[in-house]
Structure 1
Amino acid sequence: MDPPQPSVRDVMLAAVPSLRAFAISLSGNVDRADDLVQDTLLRAMANIDSFTAGTNMSAWLFTILRNLFRSEYRKRRREFEDADGHHVDSLKSPPQQHSQLEFEEFRRVLATLLPDQREALILVGAAGFSHEEAAAICEAPVGTIKSRVNRARARLSKLLSIDSADMFGQDNSTRAVLTGSGPG
C-alpha cells in the first residue's frame, strides 16, 4: 500500500519557511518578504488549477514568488532605497554574539553579489533546489545557473577571506550556501 500523498495545503505550508527565506533574500525586508509570501500563497491557491500534478510544487511556488517580486520591484522603483544598508543598520541593535557578527558579515557580503548570482546561490545552496529546478524557477539555462552559483561561491569565499566553509564557523546554513551541500 502506498503512503498517503500530502495534501496541497500540507505541501504549501511546508514550503513557507523556504519561501520566506528566499523572499527576505530578494527584498531585504522582513515585512515585505512576509507580504510577498502571503501574496504568493494567495496567487497559488487562486491558480491551483494551473499546477501540473506530479511536478515540484515547491519550485512552482518559488517561481510565483520570484515573478511577484520582480513585478513589485518594477512598481516600487520610486520608493526610498537603502542599498548600502545604513538606514536598516541604524534601526537595529548591534549583535552580541560572535556567530551573529559572522552572520551579519555574511549577509552584507551576500548582498554585494550580483542579483542573479545571489538568487541562484540561494536557490541551490540554501533552498536545496537542484541546478535544473533553479534553472526552471529563474527561466535560465542550467549551465547559466551553474555558472552563477560557482561565481557567487567564489566571490563569497574571496570577500570573506576563507579557504573553505569550515573556516567561517559552525552555521550549517552558511556552510550549505558556500559549499553546495545540504544543511546538516
Structure 2
Amino acid sequence: MSASEFQEILTAESDFLKPLAIHLTHDTSMAEDLYQETLYRALANQEKYQAGSNLKAWLYTIMKNIFINDYRRKRKHWTIFDSTTATLAADHPSRSGRNAGESNLRYAEIRKQVDTLPEIFRKPFLLYFQGFKYEEIARMLREPLGTIKSRIHFARKMLKARISQSEQIWLSASAS
C-alpha cells in the first residue's frame, strides 16, 4: 500500500477517534492534541499496519496507548512532587507540619546540583525525571538505549554524592 493510499484510508476512517479522544480526556483541547498525536503516530508507523486488517482497531490501540502513557507520565511527575507530609498534617492536626522554607531551600539546592551536572548526564536525567521512558529518551537524543541508562544511572549517583556532601557541610555549619 502506498503512502498516499494509506493517508486516504486514514483520513476516511479516523473520524471515530474525535469523540473517543473527548471521552478519554474530558477536555476539548487535550482531545484535539490526542487525536493529532494518534494520526501522527499512525502515519509515522504505517509500515506496521497490515493491509486488510482492522484499521479502526489499530488506530484505537494507538490512541489508547498514547493516552495511557501520557497519564502515567503525568502521574509519575505529580508523584515526585507529592506533598504527602502536607496531607498527613491535614489528617492529623495535632502534628506539626514541615517548614515550607526548608523544603524550598532543599528543592533549590537539588535543582542547583542538577544544573551543575555535565550536559551529557543532565539532559537524559531531566527527560527521565519528566516521565519519559528510557526508549523515548534514546530516540529523542539519538543515543543507544544502554548509553541512556548508564548516563541516568551516573547522574543519579553524582547527585546523591553531591547532595550528601552538601548536607554534611550544612549540618557541620549549623552545629557550629
Q: TM-score range by the shorter chain?
A: 0.3 to 0.5
Question: Comparing both chains, which one has the higher relative contact order based on Cα–Cα distances under 8 Å and sequence gaps of 6 or more?
Answer: 1
After TM superposition, the score normalised by the length of structure 2 is 0.42
Considering fraction of residues, name the structure with more helix. 2
